[in-house]
Amino acid sequence: MKPQLAQVRWYRIIPVVFVTYSLAYLDRANFGFAVAGGMADDLKIDPNTSTLLSSLFFLGYFFFQIPGAHYAATRTAKKLIFISLILWGGLAAATGMVNNATALIVIRFMLGVVESAVMPAMLILLSQWFTKEERSRANTFLILGNPVTVLWMSVLSGYLIDSLGWRWMFIIQGAPGIVWAFIWWKLIDERPMAAKWLTDEEKIAVEEKLKAEQAGIKPVKNYAEAFKSTKVILLCLQYLLWSVGVYGFVMWLPSIIKAAPNMNMVTTGWLSAVPYVFAVVGMLAASYFSDKTGNRKVFVWPFLLIAAVCLYAAVWIGTEHFWLAYALLVVAGGALYTPYGPFFAAIAEILPKNVIGGAIGLINSLGALGSFAGSYLVGYLNSETGNFNASYTLMAVALVLATVITIAVIPAPKVAQPVAEEV
pLDDT in tens, the chain (423 residues): 455 788 899 999 999 999 888 887 776 667 777 877 778 788 887 777 777 776 777 777 777 777 777 788 778 889 999 998 899 888 888 888 888 888 888 888 888 888 877 878 888 888 889 987 888 788 888 888 777 877 777 778 778 888 888 888 888 888 888 899 999 999 999 889 989 899 889 899 988 888 887 665 555 555 566 666 788 888 889 998 998 888 778 777 777 787 777 777 778 878 888 888 898 899 989 988 988 888 888 999 999 999 999 989 987 786 677 888 889 989 999 999 999 888 888 877 776 666 666 677 778 778 878 877 777 787 788 778 877 788 888 889 999 999 999 999 887 776 544 444 444
Q: Which residues contact 301 (CB under 8 A, 6 or more apart)?
A: 339, 403, 406, 407, 410
Half-sphere exposure of 131 (CA within 13 A, CB side): 20
Q: What CATH number does the domain located at 7-210 have? A: 1.20.1250.20
Report d(CA 30, CA 149) in Å as an integer: 10
Q: With helix as H, strand as E and coil as C, how does the chain read? A: CCCCCCCHHHHHHHHHHHHHHHHHHHHHHHHHHHHHCCHHHHCCCCHHHHHHHHHHHHHHHHHCHHHHHHHHHHCCHHHHHHHHHHHHHHHHHHHCCCCCHHHHHHHHHHHHHHHCCHHHHHHHHHHCCCCHHHHHHHHHHHHCHHHHHHHHHHHHHHHHHHHCCHHHHHHHHHHHHHHHHHHHHHHCCCCHHHCCCCCHHHHHHHHHHHHHHCCCCCCCCCHHHHHCCHHHHHHHHHHHHHHHHHHHHHHHHHHHHHCCCCCCHHHHHHHHHHHHHHHHHHHHHHHHHHHHHCCCHHHCHHHHHHHHHHHHHHHHHCHHHHHHHHHHHHHHHHHHHCCHHHHHHHHHHHCCHHHHHHHHHHHHHHHHHHHHHHHHHHHHHHHHHCCCHHHHHHHHHHHHHHHHHHHHHCCCCCCCCCCCCCC
Q: How far apart are CA 321 and CA 315, in angstroms?
A: 10
Round to whole Å and give the CA distance between 152 and 29. Answer: 11
Spatial distance between the Cα atoms of 8 and 3, rounded to a whole number of angstroms? 14
Calculate the alpha carbon distances from 229 to 162, 191, 233, 235 in Å.
50, 29, 6, 10
Query: Can you give the pLDDT at residue 9?
Result: 92
The fold adopted by the segment(s) 219-412 is Growth Hormone; Chain: A; (1.20.1250)
Q: What pLDDT shows up at residue 351? A: 67
- CA dist 407 and 135 (Å) reads 21
Q: How far apart (Å, rounded) are the C-alpha atoms in residues 318 and 328?
A: 11
How is the chain split into domains, by residue range? 7-210, 219-412
Q: How far is CA 102 from CA 62, 98, 107, 169, in A?
A: 21, 9, 9, 20
**How confident is the model at residue 183, as a pLDDT?**
94
Which residues, other chains included, contact 63 with Cβ-Cβ below 8 Å and sequence gap of 6+? 113, 116, 365
pLDDT of residue 423: 40
105 burial (CB, 10 Å; 0-12 / 13-18 / 19+) is middle
At 35 the pLDDT is 72
